[in-house]
Each structure stands twice: as structure tokens, then as C-alpha cells.
Chain A
């Protein structure tokens, strides 16, 4: 109430834009919710509304490779891959972010290479990576070529986040630490890392989700065994049951768990620092 007293009444454009925003949110979440609901479809196996005899039947089907494909297997590759990409992205982006705080020869080239890696279509890099591995006589596999391909997509994101975070870091914190006797390493460990930790969580979030959901850069580089997105791709053509929706729900729930975990840890840290525990 106090706020609107000081700002005045809202103009008509506010209501128009608010409606637009609301529609956009419905647009974003609507289909996902539709899939969520339909995954509880009963034995009628109908792919559309209405929901008849809700059951967990189709979730069960996911464990049956003959009917739906190797879902469990694909999951057992996607998840560890995503975790590896997450860890590596944090380690590599954070250290590179620190490097970029100083001017050094080649920094521009590396920066543009990272940006280019974001821009170049994933399919092109997929082909190239496969060819590279063939040329070296190595087989393509989810833990080698796909891992590298995923990193080529996740690392630039991580780097950009670190740029934003480190760019906002007041240099006097490190000077104060130095003044109080901290060595370079102590300063990093006791002062810089704790302060930019929320940014590092964001990098981890990007690393995990970008890999877990990645399609084009996994396309040719996973070798003979699919990751989950690739498995889903095959299922879109083969599977005509709500099992596909069930899978969609499961994988989205997993993504949500990771997202909520990351965002809430950031929120908790910020609250603790502002003192409102």
C-alpha cells in the first residue's frame, strides 16, 4: 500500500503487459503441465485428453526396455555424464574466470573462441568431433567424445557467469585480506571463493542441466549407446503410448529437483549474509 502511495496508480499499460506476461507463463508451463497430467493416463493408452482411469501404469513401462527402449540404460549414462560435466565445468570455468582478471597474451583469442563455441551449430561440432575421434582411431563414447562436446557448450556459459560474478567483486576485499596477512592462496580460499560461491552454484546448475538435456552435441558423439535425450528422440517416432509422457514427467522432475536445490542454496546463502536467518 505504501509503495503505490509513493508511486501513484498504475498506468493502463501495466495491465496489458501483466496480461501478456501471464499468458507467456501459461504458454511456457501449459504444455509441460499437460504432459504431467497425461502421464497418469490409464490403460486406454490415449495420447490426448481426457484422462481416463488414472494410473501409474506408464511409469512402470519405463523399466521395460522391450516396449519403450533402453530408458534405464540411457538414464544411467545421462546422469553420470551430467554430473561429470557439472564438476568439470565448475573447475575449469572458475579457474579460467580467475585467469581473465588479468590481461594476458591470447586472452582475446580464447574469449572469442569461447563465444564462437556457443554460436556454432551443435550439429556441426558433433560431426567434427566424431571425425576427430575417428581420425585418432578412438571410438566415440558418452564418457569421452560426448563429454568433450558437452563441455564445449557448457564451458562458455560458465565462463560468462564467472565474468559477471568476478566483475562485480570489489577488489578491496582481497586487498583487505592481503593487508591482514593472508597469502594469495588464503585470500582465494577464505575470501574470494566464499563470496562468489553463489555464482559457482549457478555455474554448476548450468553445467548439469546443459549436459543432461543436450541433444545436438550428443548426436554423433555418444557412440553406440544413447543418452536420455537421444533415447527420447527415438521414442518420438517409435513409441505411441503415454510412456513417452511418463518419461517426460520423470526427467522434468529430476531437472526440477536439481534446479530447486541450486536456486534455494543460493537464496539461503544470500539470506544468511544479509543477516535475516
Chain B
């Protein structure tokens, strides 16, 4: 960050300027998280609600229940699949925009074209896959009309496939933006130097572009992982309730007002997410990258 030009001035205005942000974050982020952790250790009594007694029962219930593990594995499965697909798509689209599109304005225009859907409703975008993937949807009708199939394909909608499609549809952008950002900062003359030294086109990508986009890839991974792991509405709607995820377990407990167990589940989820984030932060100096 280019620092504000200054003779030496007091820091009071600075503290005042950052106060609103701090207050909002403390009250609507830090405190809620702390309370969730606290509640996870409290007891739940049916028909009574939360009882202020310390207990590890919630965690025990969850960790010894095979369903929990199944759900988490399911979530991790989705996360990995989506991660791979969004990475491949995100990397090559960013690469295309940065290195193949010659006019800067066109590149920005195309980039905006990709980002505009981000600013519309996620739920609507999700639902809009129904008339496309359904048994009577666009794809099936099209394939049947073309005579390629005579029975509609069942697994296009309300299946793992549709869940993955929806995730990719919603979250690829979160890969494109950081990678685009990293790639745009690569000095073009490095690529020319590599070609001069005899690298093939693929060699340039593997040896120059990929390493220098590491930060963007790491950030994109972080976003996609946290979004997929923390999601429950995409997986529920797109699988028709057939697939579960870690969050659907939380969701169920909430329906029954079992806040303590829901909280414990949330804490487990949170720990996993934070561990992944910490691993990524170790690879990339986030502050330097974001604050420039």
C-alpha cells in the first residue's frame, strides 16, 4: 500500500477511521464465532432447549456417529471434484484472457462478461439448471430430437452430477479472478525470454506461467474450498435432498432446535476450513498479495 504522505501526525484519526469496521467485525463475526464455540459445549434438552451445563456430549455424538463421517466425506468428495474442475477451467480462461486476447479493452470486457452473473442471485442461477437438465429439459429434449438417445438421461438432474454442475457454475469465477490478477502481473518479457531459450508453448506455461500464478491459484483454491464446504443450499436443492453434506447435518439439527449439537458440528466444520486456510496462507503471503 503506498503510504499516505505525512509529516508526523497523531494516529487518532486512523483509529477512528478503522473503528466502525472493527466494531462491525467484532460484533458480527468474532462474537458470533466465540458464542458458537461456547454453545457447542452446552447441553441440549429436548423440549427445554439449551441448558447451561458444560458437556462434551455434542462432540461425542457427532464424532462417534458414522453418519457424520459419511456426510463430511461426501462434502470433501464434492469439494475435491469441484476444485479440480474449477481450477482447470479457471486457469485456462484466465490464461486466454491475459495472454491470447490482444486488446486490453476487449480483455476487460470479456472479463466483466464472466463476472456479471456473480452479481445476480445464486439461488436463481441454481434453479435455472432445472429446465436444462431435467428429464424434459433442454438437453434431454435436444438429444432425443437428434435421435442420439431414446430415453431421457436420468442422472442429469437431482444427482451428484447436477450438484457438481451447479458448484462449477457458481464458483468458477472465484478461481478466474485471483488467477487473472496474478497472471496479469506477469512481465510479458519473461515469456519471450523463455521462448528465446527454447521452451515450447506448453513449456512456457509449465515453467513460467504456472509458478508465477501460484498466489492466484492458492487464493482461488481457498475461496472455492470454503464456499463448497460451507454450502448447504446448492447441494440440497440440486440433489433433490438425496445427497448430504456436512452442512446438511447442521441444518437438520437446527430444524430440531438442537443448537448445541448444530454448533458443535459447525465448530468441526470451521476447524477443517481454518486448517485448510492456514495451510494455504503458509504457501502464500496473503497480506502482501492483497494489500500490495
Binding site for B on A (CB under 8 A): 3, 7, 10-11, 13-14, 17-18, 20-21, 24-25, 27-32, 34-35, 38, 47-49, 91-93, 95-96, 98-104, 107-108, 110-125, 127-129, 131-132, 135, 148-149, 151-152, 155, 159-160, 163-164, 166-172, 174-175, 178, 205, 209, 212-213, 215-216, 220, 228-229, 232-233, 236, 244-245, 247-248, 251-252, 255-256, 258-259, 263
Contact = CB atoms under 8 A, between A and B. Distances in A.
Interface string B187-210: 000000000000001000000000
Contacts of A48: 131, 134, 136-138, 141
Top 8 closest pairs, chain A to chain B, by CB: A121-B230, A128-B32, A31-B128, A99-B17, A99-B18, A167-B292, A96-B21, A148-B28
Contacts, number: 290
Given A49-B131, A102-B4, A155-B25, A96 B20 contact: yes
- Of the candidates A32, A108, A119, A236, the one having the most CB atoms from chain B within 10 angstroms of its own CB is A119
B233 interface: yes
A161 to B, nearest CB: 10
Interface residues of B, number: 91
A267 to B, nearest CB: 10
Contacts of A120: 29, 33, 226, 230, 270, 273
Given A48-B137, A124-B230, 20 more contacts: A17-B96, A28-B169, A34-B128, A35-B124, A47-B131, A48-B141, A49-B137, A96-B17, A111-B291, A113-B22, A114-B25, A124-B269, A132-B27, A151-B24, A152-B29, A164-B292, A205-B119, A213-B120, A216-B233, A256-B120
Instruction: Tell me which of B22, B96, B124, B237 has the highest count of chain A C-beta atoms within 10 A of its own C-beta.
Output: B124
Contacts of B259: 127, 131
Contacts of B1: 100-101, 163, 166-167
B132 A30 contact: yes
Nearest to A253: B120
Contact of B2 (A49, A91, A101, A233): A101
Given A48-B131, A101-B1, A163-B291, A129 B96 contact: no
A232 B119 contact: no
Contacts of B290: 115, 160, 163
A122 B286 CA distance: 21
Contacts of B117: 28-29, 32
Grouping DSSP codes into helix (H, G, I), strand (E, B) and loop, the A interface class, with mixed when no group exceeds half, is: helix
B128 A209 contact: no
A35 B4 contact: no
A24 B91 CA distance: 13
B20 A92 contact: yes
Contact of B287 (A108, A119, A167, A171): A108
Nearest to A228: B121
B164 interface: no
B136 A102 contact: no
Interface in B92-150: 92-93, 95-97, 100, 102-103, 110, 112-114, 116-125, 127-132, 134, 136-138, 141
A75 to B, nearest CB: 12
A69 B264 CA distance: 34
Contacts of B25: 110, 113-114, 117, 152, 155
B5 A25 contact: no
B265 to A, nearest CB: 9
A123 B96 contact: no
A125 B33 contact: yes
Nearest to A210: B119
A222 to B, nearest CB: 14
B182 interface: no
10 contacts: A20-B93, A27-B169, A96-B20, A112-B287, A121-B247, A121-B266, A155-B21, A166-B2, A171-B2, A229-B123
Nearest to A25: B113
A122 B230 CA distance: 7
A128 B134 CA distance: 37
Contact of B131 (A24, A34, A131): A34
Given A34-B128, A34-B131, A128 B247 contact: no
Contacts of A132: 27, 31-32, 35
B256 interface: no
Contact of A155 (B17, B24, B93): B24
Interface in B234-271: 237, 247, 250-251, 254, 259, 262-263, 266, 269-270
B46 interface: no
A247 to B, nearest CB: 8
Contact of A113 (B30, B119, B127): B30
Contacts of A212: 121
Contact of A216 (B22, B32, B130, B230): B230
A8 to B, nearest CB: 11
A132 B225 CA distance: 27
Contacts of B217: none
A235 to B, nearest CB: 9
B152 to A, nearest CB: 11
B287 A124 contact: no
